[in-house]
Amino acid sequence: AQSVAQPEDQVNVAEGNPLTVKCTYSVSGNPYLFWYVQYPNRGLQFLLKYITGDNLVKGSYGFEAEFNKSQTSFHLKKPSALVSDSALYFCAVRDDSGYSTLTFGKGTMLLVSP
């Protein structure tokens, strides 16, 4: 069975400071990893994904994530947070078979203060 852990329910950061939202995963086989963001009363928007290749993945809105196979982690990062980044962030994993569901973490609320 595959699983995702997002250990922080909420992350608070001041605008302009770097942010990290943590994610660890468990999956059989090679992982496909995703980050999504959800703004209030909206669906999920894709931010970035790791399939293969470089461990540092760059995505939308200046976000990036680093895949660490030995630590089974895929932490989301941004060098300088914006107030508009405040939202709910979900990490997700599926295996590399052609027939696999996508398993989500419980989400981390990011609050960026002015």
Partner 1 sequence: GAGVSQSPSNKVTEKGKDVELRCDPISGHTALYWYRQSLGQGLEFLIYFQGNSAPDKSGLPSDRFSAERTGGSVSTLTIQRTQQEDSAVYLCASRRGAGNTIYFGEGSWLTVV
- Asked if 45 interacts with partner 1 (CB under 8 A), we say yes
CA 9 to chain centre: 13
Should residue 39 be labelled a site residue for partner 1 when binding is judged by CB under 8 A? Answer: no
CA neighbor of 44 nearest in space, from 100, 81, 91, 78: 91
DSSP notation for 44-69: EEEEEEE-SS-SEEE-GGG-EEEEET
Q: Is 76:91 a contact under the CB 8 Å cutoff?
A: yes
Best CA proximity match to 94, nearest among 18, 21, 19, 27: 27
Contact between 32 and partner 1 by CB under 8 A: the answer reads yes
Considering only the stretches 15-23, 49-57, 62-70, 72-80, report the one whose residues sit in contact with partner 1 under the rule CB under 8 A.
49-57
Angle at 96 between CA 95 and CA 101, to 5 degrees: 45
Binding segment toward partner 1, per CB under 8 A, in 17-25, 64-72, 73-81, 98-106: 98-106
- As measured in angstroms, the least distance from the Cβ of 70 to partner 1 is 22
Pick the closer one to partner 1 by CB: 73 or 104. 104
Among 17, 42, 83, 111, binds partner 1 (CB under 8 A): 42
The residues of the shown chain that bind partner 1, judged by CB under 8 A, are 32, 34, 36, 42-46, 49, 51-52, 90, 92, 96-99, 101-107
